[in-house]
Amino acid sequence: MASNHTPTAPPPEVVLEARGLTKHFPVPRRGRAILSRTTQAVHAVDDVDLTLHRGTVTALVGESGSGKSTVARLLAQLHPRTAGDIRLHGVSTTVRGGRPFRTYARDVQMIFQDPFGSLNPVHTIRYHLTRALRIHGRAGRGRDGLRQALDELLGRVHLTPADAYLDKYPHELSGGQRQRVAIARALAADPKVLLADEPVSMLDVSIRLGILNLLRDLKERLDLAILYITHDIASARYFADETVVMYAGRMVEGGDSETVTQHPAHPYTRLLIASAPDPDRITAAGDGPDGDDGDTGEPPSPVAPPAGCRFSPRCPAAMERCRTDLPPRFDLPDAPGHWTACWLYDADADADADADTVAAATPTPTATSEVAS
């Protein structure tokens, strides 16, 4: 998918910014979590910077446990953060409560992975949507105003005619229809930002594309900033304008989706792409890419992540400094805005390995998406 803006055009307006976002969960001891009395914590998210622009989809990609869903929950204010700042339209949300927080709760809406779990099964679709409209003061005047608002909401997610859905219960709808209702409920607030946490991963492959197309359509019609959380980097290429890759709680690469997925720089991004489902690369014996055994190692323990680069225990190009020094972001010359946190791209260093080492040690990426197939 082409980016929403060319690299030379000014980027769209910034809607939501996170700087230094960090979340450490205390390790439970004797059944109680007491951070002040323990030296251990789960390092779920460390020092994440994220910028969401109006009318743009940003994909946050990583394998299970990378911290991407925790980032979404921090942005949704479902978890208190350990450190960092979040700004909506430039206004800090450090303090809970008060008008800025109410504005935030209206403007930033979340769509969850499991549409069935997020809709109370004892209530009808009419109840769920009416309640959301009333909470956000958008239920219209009288019965006619409410009905018009309900029709409009369901029309936006292509569930028409509304009468066919309003009096049904969530279990009477398909998975795709339930996710459309969940999206309609989020739209009831007239949000500026949607945080979509793996919105299609629990749906059949055949209906994933329809939901992603709906979100893209909403992005364009309503000028929404969308954060798309996914483990499927190939779907990020199809759906997102920008892609950020996370590994073990840290951001490791970011940039225009086309560039990140077609010219990945970080060894982990290359591994992620090479591991994406692609029938052409899977041998008849079920081996991994290029006929190897598919064993690419495990992520580190989030309680005791490695010093330096967290990918170093799995990295085929790891150098001595990788195990001691945390790599900063390096801007890459191939495309504006493309960066990676990897010592291989330190132009000032006398590196004992280079990008060619990574290319030789990791399979050539070929992005193929389950949603696009």
* Residues at the site binding ligand SF4, with contacts judged by CB under 6 A: 266-267, 309, 311-312, 315, 317-319, 322, 327, 342-344
Q: Cβ 45 to ligand SF4, closest distance in Å? A: 18
> Please, which residue, 146 or 342, has the CB nearer to ligand SF4?
342
Q: Considering the complex, what minimum distance in angstroms separates the CB of residue 60 from ligand SF4?
A: 19
What are the distances in angstroms from CA 20 to CA 35, 42, 105, 117, 296? Answer: 20, 17, 21, 31, 29
Q: Least CB distance from residue 345 to ligand SF4, whole Å?
A: 8
Query: Residues 45, 74: contact at Cβ < 8 Å?
Result: yes
Nearer to ligand SF4, 169 or 330 (CB): 330
Minimum distance, C-beta of residue 291 to ligand SF4, in the bound complex (Å): 23
Q: Which of 112, 81, 77, 114 shows the shortest CA–CA distance to 97?
A: 77
Cβ burial, residue 334 (10 Å; 0-12/13-18/19+): exposed
Cβ 228 to ligand SF4 shortest distance, Å: 24
Residue with smaller CB distance to ligand SF4, 21 or 344? 344
CA distance 332 to 314: 23
Nearer to ligand SF4, 203 or 272 (CB): 272
CB nearer to ligand SF4: pick between 73 and 266: 266
Spell out the residues 6+ positions from residue 205 whose beta carbon is closer than 8 angstroms to its own: 370, 371, 373
- Can you tell me the distance from the alpha carbon of 54 to that of 111, in angstroms, rounded to the nearest whole number? 18
- CA Rg value for the chain: 22
Comparing CB distances to ligand SF4, the nearer of 55 and 308 is 308
DSSP state of 32: B
Helix pair 175-187, 125-135: axis angle to 10 deg: 20
Buried b (16+ CB within 10 A) or exposed e, 275-309: bbebeebeeeeeebbeeeeeebeebbebeebbebb
Compute how many other C-beta atoms are within 10 angstroms of the C-beta atom of residue 64: 8
Nearer to ligand SF4, 104 or 311 (CB): 311
Q: How far is the CB of 108 from ligand SF4 (least distance, A)?
A: 32
Q: Taking the complex as a whole, how short is the minimal distance between the CB of residue 244 and ligand SF4, in angstroms?
A: 16
Q: Nearer to ligand SF4 by C-beta: 218 or 318?
A: 318
d(CA 71, CA 230): 12
Give min distance, CB of 350 to ligand SF4, in A: 14
Return the number of the residue (112 or 343) whose C-beta is nearest ligand SF4: 343
The structure tokens 């990918």 sit at 311
Element at 355 (helix H, strand E):
helix 355-361
Query: Which tokens sit at 248?
Result: 């073990």
Tell the smallest beta-carbon distance from residue 362 to ligand SF4 (Å): 10
Residue 371: HSE in the Cβ half-sphere, 13 Å Cα cutoff: 24
Amino acid identity for residue 170 in this structure: P
Q: Look up residue 271 and give its amino acid.
A: L
Q: Which is nearer to ligand SF4, 87 or 321 (CB)?
A: 321
Tokens matching residue 329: 């972001």
We find the least distance from the C-beta atom of residue 371 to ligand SF4, in angstroms, to be: 28
